Amino acid sequence: MKLKKYISIIVLLFVTSFVFSQVKFEAKVSKKKLGVNERLRVDFEMNQDGDNFNPPNFSGFTVIGGPNQSVSNSWINGVRSFKKTYSYFLAPKKRGNFTITQATINVDGETYKTTPIKIEITAAIDKPKDPNDPNYIASENIHLVAEVSKVNPYLNEAITVVYKLYVAHNTAVNNWREIDSPRYNDFWSQNIDTKGQKVQNGTYKGEDYRFLVLKKTVLYPQKTGKLNIEPLSLDITVEVPTNRRDIFGSRMISRVHKTVSAGNKSINVKALPDAGKPVDFTGAVGNFSFNVSTSKTALNASESLQAKIEVRGKGNLKLFTLPKISLPSSLEVYEPEHKESVRTNLSGMQGSISDTYTIVPQYKGKYPIPNISFSYFDLKTESYKRLSSNEIVIDVLEGPLNNAIETGEETTNGNAKQRVVLNNDQFAFIKTKSNFSSVKQDYFFKTPIFWSALLLPFLAIPLAIVVRKKKATRGADVFGNRIRKADKLAKKYLSTAKKALGKKEAFYIALEKALHNYLKAKLHIETSDLSKDKIKVLLSKRGAEEEAITNFKSILENCELARYTPITTVTMQEDYNKAAQTISLIDKQAR
């Protein structure tokens, strides 16, 4: 009887340990049916810590928050309970049926996957205008506006679009990020730098607001008719006051995510008038001056001069071509060097463009450069204007005479034939003599190379023995192998992060994984035990200096904050370099 009792206890303990050791990895959603204007929360939960967590692509949704990571540990009656969760907040893109596909994670070398979940997105749901609802307060107090300077411009006339974010005085914006940028189809566009912009006071629909200029863009329409300017959309983290109060009587603040859009803008582009349009018109629109000049007007044959055609002023300088220069055939002309000195501000392009021709005369004589004309459409008078240069005469003082000129056959259309002058050295580049040298036959036997190849295998035997011993010693070093394995894993993730530079989400996920896996092997702790205070204590005990510890903690903080704040590629590169230097420094200092 006692034997049966002991066997039952052993079986029960075995089954219990099996149940507790079984890995659970599952996905949970806040709801399976929601409106297109609602938000969905997705949690990926596991009961054992794992590595290489890969979320699904969330097709049909926009990720507006996450991944947020939480870890909980508890002991009940001597039994450890562990739970780790990755949370995402999603916004539907459109109505329809969608699937949250599988997420994967590695636990003790095994890959586990979640079960796909089907989500139904319906039409927008009418929400009551509850003044205590933070989302309603945010929607009433934050507005993104696109201001267009002119809605009825001419073709190639500059217009500006200024995006302003209006915020009520009782609302605070923590940060924002672009989730949809306009592509400006059918426009030539140039963004204006808005760094250093300060918050200003203004009015929106007759009420006092604060506003910040987020973006300025100069547009030149390239088509006529009705053109659409796509909207700018932002995801904003907002802090709004509620009517609830804490135990001290202070009003409580609620933080919400709000998606705002500037809306579509349409403009009607007018075609340039056909009446009075010059034949040589190439599309210049604005207010310009025209000049043709040469570096010299008198020189000898075979010397060079530069002829410069320049347009200066305000308008679409980068969007038209300069007139060509016409020269007599006796002047050798090279392809022009094009230069642009153009700056773009809110009023459009200003500056100059030029073509510089290098000219080399071949014969003595006087050669005229005919006058050149340039036409453009003047926006002030709404009419075409033509500018012309004066004729320039090039005087070639010394050089051979052109027989075509003497007989009156020289023309400016390039049809006159030039006489070919022969000389005695025209075939000097052809070699008529050869220098031969005898080739002595060499033998490989008993040469230094022969003896080296013969003795090298015997000399390599002691080296192979030494290498084998070192390899065996290294293989027996379990602790050292674990450290080296962690270093390789950290370098692997750092390499992944480097490839993801410019993609904020993927970059900081890879960087955070590299730091966590490095600490697991270096400090012999589980990921669930990682905390900033414990990291500092353990690294200090190992001999790491305060500066290295501080840098390590700051990189971890950057990985957490970077998902919710706008980050540039320069900042990502700095965080990557800092992570590589810090890991190397801790490896040298910690024991």
What is the chain's length?
A: 591
Query: What is residue 1's predicted lDDT score, i.e. its pLDDT?
Result: 53
User: Phi and psi dihedrals of 23, rounded to 5?
Assistant: -80, 130
Closest by CA position to 210, among listed 167, 268, 259? 167
* Element containing residue 386 per DSSP (H, E): strand 383-388
pLDDT at residue 479 greater than cutoff 60: no
Query: What is residue 9's predicted lDDT score, i.e. its pLDDT?
Result: 57
Domain ranges for the chain, please list them: 22-122, 134-269, 289-406, 478-589
DSSP state of 156: T
Structural fold of domain 22-122: Jelly Rolls (2.60.120)
Tokens 């995402």 found at: 88
Please report which confidence band the pLDDT of residue 419 belongs to, taking 50, 70 and 90 as the band edges.
Answer: very low
- pLDDT, greater one: 284 or 195: 284
Question: Could you report the per-residue pLDDT of 551-581, keeping only the tens digit for each?
Answer: 877 887 777 777 666 677 777 788 888 888 8
What percent of the chain is modeled with pLDDT above 90?
29
pLDDT at residue 21 greater than cutoff 60: no
Domain with residues 289-406, CATH architecture: Sandwich (2.60)
Contact of 489 with 51, CB cutoff 8 Å: no
pLDDT at residue 283 greater than cutoff 90: yes
- How far apart CA 286 and CA 282 sit, in angstroms, is 13
The number of beta carbons lying within 10 Å of the beta carbon of residue 164 is 20
Mean pLDDT, range 339-348, rounded to an integer: 93
The number of beta carbons lying within 10 Å of the beta carbon of residue 42 is 25
Contact of 260 with 289, CB cutoff 8 Å: no
| Buried/exposed 427-466: b ≥16 CB within 10 Å, e otherwise | eeeeeeeeeeeeeeeeeeeeeeeeeeeeeeeeeeeeeeee
Average pLDDT of every residue of the chain: 80
- How far apart CA 192 and CA 348 sit, in angstroms, is 10
Please report which confidence band the pLDDT of residue 527 belongs to, taking 50, 70 and 90 as the band edges.
Answer: low
> How many secondary structure helices (H) and strands (E) does the chain include?
9, 30
Q: What pairs with residue 167 in β-bridges?
A: 142, 210
CA distances from 304 to 332, 352, 396, 496 (A): 9, 25, 11, 56
Query: What is residue 160's predicted lDDT score, i.e. its pLDDT?
Result: 95
Question: Could you report the per-residue pLDDT of 188-197, keeping only the tens digit for each?
Answer: 999 998 888 8
Q: What pairs with residue 204 in β-bridges?
A: 207
Please report which confidence band the pLDDT of residue 408 belongs to, taking 50, 70 and 90 as the band edges.
Answer: very low
First-to-final CA distance of the chain: 56
pLDDT at residue 348 greater than cutoff 90: yes
- pLDDT, greater one: 408 or 556: 556
Mean pLDDT, range 270-280, rounded to an integer: 93
Query: What is residue 481's predicted lDDT score, i.e. its pLDDT?
Result: 62
pLDDT at residue 409 greater than cutoff 50: no
Q: What pairs with residue 259 in β-bridges?
A: 235
Mean pLDDT, range 247-271, rounded to an integer: 82
Between 165-179, 386-400, 537-551, the lowest mean confidence (pLDDT) is in: 537-551
Question: Could you report the per-residue pLDDT of 139-188, keeping only the tens digit for each?
Answer: 888 999 999 999 999 999 999 999 999 998 878 888 888 888 888 889 99
The number of beta carbons lying within 10 Å of the beta carbon of residue 370 is 12
At residue 295, the 3 state secondary structure works out as coil
pLDDT at residue 278 greater than cutoff 90: yes
Contact of 55 with 89, CB cutoff 8 Å: no
- How far apart CA 68 and CA 560 sit, in angstroms, is 9
Please report which confidence band the pLDDT of residue 296 belongs to, taking 50, 70 and 90 as the band edges.
Answer: very high
The residue type at 395: D
The residue type at 385: K
Between 177-191, 416-430, 522-536, the lowest mean confidence (pLDDT) is in: 416-430
Most confident of 288-292, 329-333, 448-452, 567-571: 288-292
Task: Kindly give the pairing relationship between strand 392-396 and strand 298-299.
Answer: parallel
Domain over 478-589 is classified CATH 1.10.1740 = no
Contact of 194 with 215, CB cutoff 8 Å: yes
